[in-house]
Structure 1
Amino acid sequence: MIELLRKAPLLSGLSTEQLERVAGHAVAIHLDEGQWLFRQGDPSRRFYFVERGQLRLFRLSPDGVEKVIEIVSPGQTFAEALMFLKAPRYPVCAAALEPTELIGIEAAAFAAMLRESVDTCFVVMGALSRRLRGLIAEIDNLTLHSATSRVARYLLAQVSADRPEFVLEVPKGVLASRLSIQPETFSRVIRQLTQDGVVAVQGAQVTVRDRAALSDLAGLTDAAELGGKPGDGR
């Protein structure tokens, strides 16, 4: 479990001894597709590291409307910032999008370890600061850009210059909610991009054919603006 935990950006700066302490307060968790991990308002006693699979973090309105806040993928941690609050409660719901393996880490034990080392605190604060910077970039993306731009930015974040294709593993409805657009709008944008020859879609596989055109639609002037993928736990 030590080497697995070391892959998490939040934990990668910890010593082997510290990781052993973390592992001593950790538990392996399996979720089936659709199974809930916790609900909005539940007491927060653990934060989590995703080994494999995906989860959606979402909020429910009083009338039951779901808004996806983040899609969490392997190698990411989530709910860690809550350990610094008094009597914390999860502000979102979490449910598996597919069979998922996680490690749950006892937040109180981790916080106690941080109190023993200023250096370790700064390591964790650095990881959380990078996450915050990424979230600010996402707020900018979701509030200042059109639906087409948001979809284009998402597609660009999934590919690279030497790997222009990817498999869309997230349900379209979940992804549309994450991008703050309607599912029919997402489908319409993808259809238009396909007709224009910017992307090709075959089943769940998406291929970016014209990266320059997609960058123009995304409104990017610098690759650094792209940031990470939605839910990459920056």
Structure 2
Amino acid sequence: MNIDIRMAHLFSALDDDQVRQVMESSHTGTLKDGESLFETGDEANRFFLVIGGQIKLFRVSSNGDQKIIDIIQPGNTFAEALMFMEHPIYPVSAEALGPAKVISFDNRRFLQILSGSIEVCFRIMGTMSQRLRGLIKEIDDLTLQSATTRLCALLLHRMEDVGQDHFTLPAAKGVLAARLSMKPETFSRILQNLSTKNILKTKSNEIQVLDENLLRSLAHLESIYGLEPEKPCALKGQNISIDLN
């Protein structure tokens, strides 16, 4: 399997020589379900690109409860903002949701490339700005929006992402419930209510939207999932690529 890293937004401004330099210090790793990539407090000298499966970012409270901060999908990078800190440490833990594959990149090497490319600097600034907007919006939604609104927004985003009204949930229900700051039973109850009202049909992790207009109304259109996602990294050999077999 070949992957062109320039299909990920962060790397899209790199020229052939810069891609070669980035890949020289990269490492590709495969993780099993539940396997840890790093833990809160670990030294953060690398950032990552997901090229298969999903990576869960989370924190654990003093009483042992796990708060899911984000679920990183294929084609997206994470932890790159930490390279600008003097003594960076990971503020969250990361582990695989099912089998996953990632490429890790050396912070120092990438900073050297940034120092010689204003365009790449603006790319990474744009990526961090977008994520900051998303976090601010998430705080607003978790504070002001109901559990039903948050779940409907997730379903709407998923439907638009796959381009059809029948889709599979992007992760296990318990994981998604934690991501939306609700209990698993609340998540299931809302799905059942939406099904009873003929807004959607559910079967295990399969969803079919029956009334898109009403789903949009319940999602209030404005939500944590209202921002455009980064374009996924295409798994095909174009330009400079790396063989992951």
Per the normalisation by structure 1, the TM-score is: 0.91
1:166 aligns with 2:181: no
Matches within 5 A, 1:168-183: 168-183=169-184
In structure 1, C-alpha distance between the alignment counterparts of 2:2 and 2:226, rounded to whole Å: 32
After superposition, the C-alpha distances for 1:104-149 in whole angstroms (9 at most, x for unaligned) are: 0011111122122333212221222222223323222222210000
RMSD value, Cα: 2.2
Whose RCO is larger (CA < 8 A, sep 6+)?
2
Report what 2:196 is aligned to: 195
Report what 1:15 is aligned to: 15
Q: What SS does the corresponding residue of 2:174 show, helix, strand or coil?
A: helix
1:51 aligns with 2:57: no
Q: Which runs of 4+ in 1 moved over 6 A?
A: none
In structure 2, C-alpha distance between the alignment counterparts of 1:85 and 1:13, rounded to whole Å: 23
Contact 2:11 2:120 in 1 (8 A): no
Report what 2:81 is aligned to: 81
After superposition, the C-alpha distances for 1:57-85 in whole angstroms (9 at most, x for unaligned) are: 00011222100000011001000000000
In structure 2, C-alpha distance between the alignment counterparts of 1:40 and 1:140, rounded to whole Å: 25
Q: What SS does the corresponding residue of 1:139 show, helix, strand or coil?
A: helix
Structure 1 position 228, deviation (Å): 4.4
In structure 1, C-alpha distance between the alignment counterparts of 2:58 and 2:113, rounded to whole Å: 30
Q: What SS does the corresponding residue of 1:87 show, helix, strand or coil?
A: coil
AA aligned opposite 1:203: S
Distance 1:108 1:59, change over 3 A: same
AA aligned opposite 1:79: A
Report what 1:151 is aligned to: 151
Q: What SS does the corresponding residue of 1:54 show, helix, strand or coil?
A: strand
Contact 1:2 1:19 in 2 (8 A): no
Q: What 5-or-longer segments of structure 1 have no aligned partner? A: none
Q: What 5-or-longer segments of structure 2 have no aligned partner? A: 233-245
Q: What SS does the corresponding residue of 1:99 show, helix, strand or coil?
A: strand
Structure 1 position 191, deviation (Å): 0.6
Report what 2:39 is aligned to: 39
Structure 1 position 36, deviation (Å): 0.4
Contact 2:168 2:207 in 1 (8 A): yes
Report what 1:70 is aligned to: 70
Q: What SS does the corresponding residue of 2:207 show, helix, strand or coil?
A: strand
Deviates more, 1:161-170 or 1:67-76: 161-170
After superposition, the C-alpha distances for 1:2-51 in whole angstroms (9 at most, x for unaligned) are: 95211211111211211111111100011001100000000001100000
AA aligned opposite 2:190: V
Deviates more, 1:163-172 or 1:137-146: 137-146
AA aligned opposite 1:175: L
AA aligned opposite 2:36: W
